[in-house]
Structures are given as C-alpha cells and as structure tokens.
Structure 1
Amino acid sequence: MRVLVTGGAGFIGANFVEHAVAQGAEVTVLDLLTYAASPDALAALPQVRLVVGDVADAAVVEPLVAEHDVVVHFAAESHNDNSLRDPGPFIRTNLVGTFTLLEAVRRTGARLHHVSTDEVYGDLALDDPARFTEDSPYRPSSPYSASKAGSDHLVRAWGRSFGVRATLSNCSNNYGPWQHVEKFIPRQITNLLDGGRPKVYGTGAQVRDWIHVADHSAAVWTILERGVPGETYLIGADGERTNLDIVRTLLRLLGRDAEDYDLVADRPGHDQRYAIDSTKLRRELGWTPRFADVEAGLADVIAWYRGHEDWWRPVKAGTEAAYAARGQA
C-alpha cells in the first residue's frame, strides 16, 4: 500500500507512520514542519520520504496524491490555547488544507482517511452518563474544534457530492511519545522530571477520555484495512479521567506526594467532559486497545520522556515562559 500521510512529522502522525511502516506500507510524509513537528521521530525510518510543504498548497498536494493509493490526513493545527489567541492558522490548515486535499483526491481517485477529534461534539456535563457516538450532534466550542468540525463536513460533502472514497475517525485525547511539551500530559511529566510542580487548570475537575497514541495508530490502520467508505468511526479506549486524577497519578508514579501540584487560571470556555463510545469500531472492525489501563500507559510515556530529554529540553523553557506570560505559570 502506498500511503501519503499529511502531518506525518507531528505527534500523532509520526506515531502512525511508524505503525504503517511496520505493516509493510510504502509511506510518504507531507509536513510543513511547524513548531510542533518532530522530524526526529522520522529519523529512525530512512525508508520514509519526507516532503516539506503546505497541505493548503494545491501545487504541492495534487502531484503527491496522484502517486499514492491512500491519503491519511492528520495535518492540523490542534492546540486550543493557540486557537484562542490566533484562529487564522487553524482556518487555513484545517479548512483550506482539507479542501485542497479533497480536490486532489477527487481528481486522482485516491482513497482518503480523515482524522478528526471528539472536540467537534462540544462537551458533556460532568454528571451526564452519556458518551459521544457517531450520531452525536456537532457543538464545537473553540476555533480549533470549529475548524475541525468544518473539515469533517467538507469530507462528508465531497463523499456524497463527488463520490470521494473517504472514511472518518474522531478520536479522544491522545498521549504518548513525541507529544509537544505544551500539551497537558507531557507538560506535567516534564515539570516533574525537572523537579517542579504540575500545573492544573481551574480545579482540575474537567474530564478527558485518554488513549495512548499507539492504540490510535492501530485503530486508524484497522479502518484502512476494513473500514467502509462513507462511514465514521469513533476511537476511544475507555480512559475517562479528571485532569486532577491524571496529575495525581503522575505524581505517584514519579514518587511524589499526590497533593504536590499548583492550580492556575482556567482556560476560557474550557469544555467540561469528553467521552467516546467506540462500540462500532470494536464490534464491526474488531479493534481493541493495547493500553486499556491508563496508568500503565502513563508509566510507558514517563519512561519515554525520561529517555528523550535531549528532544524536549530545548523547547521546555520557551513553553513555560509562554504559559507564564498568560498568567498560567
């Protein structure tokens, strides 16, 4: 299988590339190599071709799509805090980029898998027993989630109007190797490895549904192998935890007191709870997560960050300075 992976030098994309290569795929990565990209993640995969370019640039995208059987579309601006400060890049990459890719797929006949997020569904009340399903209505609440919701609608419209062969997946919060230290879990881990204290928005009561990135990668590959064009599959590992639970678990795994954390100013419009029902993916396509235990997954990731200090250390100070400038130090 000849696979083009957009955003394949990013956190989730790079982990998927490694998984695809292990399955025998011939992989090309298209990535603009913005601040959150990790070319180092591809360095151990010399058989992977890296093309530096913008997914919103049709002159770059269409010739690449024409060379491949399948396009897996990870490329996205994805940090909520950044979208609140400057929505523009989110509109360009997540909407214009997806449109550009869809037009290339329409003209070349390649198959597309579009990777999205559970944040398009908005949030659930903390006391709501429900979980998101493929039929949940869209209620995005930030420029990031709104731009991803728009990209999902574009993919479905191009499938219905133009016959584009596309599958979609909406995944819960990922954690794992190569995730930028601005993100919640790696920020806490690296703070702790530095001897500092974790930082928790508000009271830490918000609930996220966590999945190890290796399980996300395996789920996307399963959809490529067995998924039905036109269908959407939700990817989750039943990993619901409050942010405070995650911090206390990290503290305990690293031998610290469970109350050794700081509360900081909450994010504007902070969603309360995400929860994914992945029954369709499991029942119809036979996927199951390897890291069903969040604590075991976190221990795996702690070990990775401990062993890759040379990768995260150069950007750590700048990331913390940016948080401090927003009053979230």
Structure 2
Amino acid sequence: MNGDIGLWAVPLAMLGGAIRVSTPFLFVSLGEVITERSGRINLGLEGTLVFGAMSGYALAFLTGSAWIGVLAAALAGAIFGLVHGLLCSLPRVNDIAIGIALMLLGTGLAFFFGKPFIQPVAPDLPAINLGWWSDLPQVQAALRVNVLFLLGFVLALALAWMLRRTRMGLILRVVGDSSDAARALGIRPARVRILATAFGGALAGVGGAYLSLFYPGSWNEGISSGQGLIAVALVIFARWSPVNCFFAALLFGAAGALGPALQSVGVTSGYYLSYAAPFVLTLVVLILSSSKSGALTGAPRELSITK
C-alpha cells in the first residue's frame, strides 16, 4: 500500500499520528492553562489522566456507552482537581508536593481498580472520516478525526475568548497575577483557584478517556507514558495561551507519531529511537524555559515556578 504514494506516506502518517496523539496533550494542557492562570500548578495531572482513562473505560464497558465513559472520566478528574485545590488552600501547603502525591495516588488507584477491565472490550468513541474524498487508505486513515479532537479545538478558542473578553477571565487573570489585588477587589483567590483546579482536572480526565476509548483504545497500566507531565511543559512552551496549546499539542503529537510513521514505510533499523522524540522535545522546552532570557514571560506571577 505504501508504494501507491511513496515517501508521502511519512508526512501523511505523521499528520494522522499528530491528530491522534495530540488530543490527550491538548485536553490536559488546556486544563493546566486554566489552573496555572489562577496561580496554581498541578503536577498531579499524570495520575488524573491515568485514573480518567481507567474510570472512563470501566464505565463505558459497564454501560455500553463511550460518552458515559467520557463523562465519568471528567467527573473523576474534577474530583481529583477539587481535592488538590482544597488541600493547597490550607496554610503552608506546597502545591507541587501535593501534585506529586496525587499523581502517585491516582496511578495507584487506577492500577488497583482497573485490573478487572484489562481484558474486557469497551465501545470506542466515534470518529469522523474527513478523507472520504480520497480512495487512498493512507489518506483516509490520516484524516480519520475523533470528535474529541474537534471539541478540543473549539474549546481552545472558547477558553482564549473567555480569558480575554469575559469577567470570568479577568477574575482568573487577576487572581493569577496578584492575590492582594484580587482581595482588594472583593475576590476570594482560594475559591477561584479551587474551581480552576477542578476544571483542569476534569479536562485531564477527558484526555484520559480519549486514550482508553479511542487511541490506543484499550485500558492497560502503561497507557499514559508520561503524557500528563509532558503537558505541563507544553503549557510553558505555549506561554499559557489556549490557542498556542492547540498548536503545541500538534507539535508534540507529531513527535510522538514519528516512530510509527517511519515504521509504516519500512524503516525498521533503529526506528524505536524515534519514540523518544516527545521526551527529547520536552527536555529542550524545559532547558529553554530555564534560561535567563525571559523565557517565562507571560507566566502568572503567583505561580510557584516564578518565585
């Protein structure tokens, strides 16, 4: 089949892979943007992502509905975010330490409760075939877009508009930049941060449901591969902008699709090294963000990483 389009199979495979792989990055990073815009960082999203993947898959299998699984994953993520927000609102509590603790808790609970659901098959989320106009299977596969990817794109635009044009967005930005200024305006920073963290957790749960209900489309204990932690670096790379998160997620998704794309055209010698591309890209982003050239420009001033 690859001979029909020659080397064009590589960019087509990377395009399709970028769309498929980027969706969890997109939802987790959008949730983390809202969380960090409120002045809090949540490093527990890896655990939330994994627990969302497990709970979404379990409910989809038990109910026969993939969308109920997505809602269950969002609810589970919101609960994790709410717990994170409540704990971090206590005096002398470090949000980074709480995030790491909840990451371990989320993955542990997912592995414990998810063991009965490793073998059963749950229904998949629907996808839209945007490559209907082509007879080439490579084009059709590359342009088979899941509904959640499209919802994530719309959500990125909506969140960008919300942050810039609405009173809610103004409150979030004020709280993220100065707690004292927020209190002077009659805003309760702790409440705003709790709600923002719960919202971010809900989106991370949806990202987990995508993993288990569409791509790769099954539940197992190694399903995440660190995507929740990578998404935190993606937010820094995107300069805390929801729209930039969309394009950054596509970039990270393309990096993750490099290995399968090379394998699709018969490159088998050392292709597995390309699977490390997302982690190398994350390292590069973190190094650039640690420079003294103002790489954190645009960061909310109440974030722990800016102090």
> Where on the TM-score scale, by shorter chain, does this alignment land: which range?
under 0.3
TM-score by length of 1: 0.24
Q: Which has the higher contact order (CA 8 A, sep 6+)?
A: 2
The structure where helix makes up a greater share of residues is 2
The structure where strand makes up a greater share of residues is 1
TM-score by length of 2: 0.25
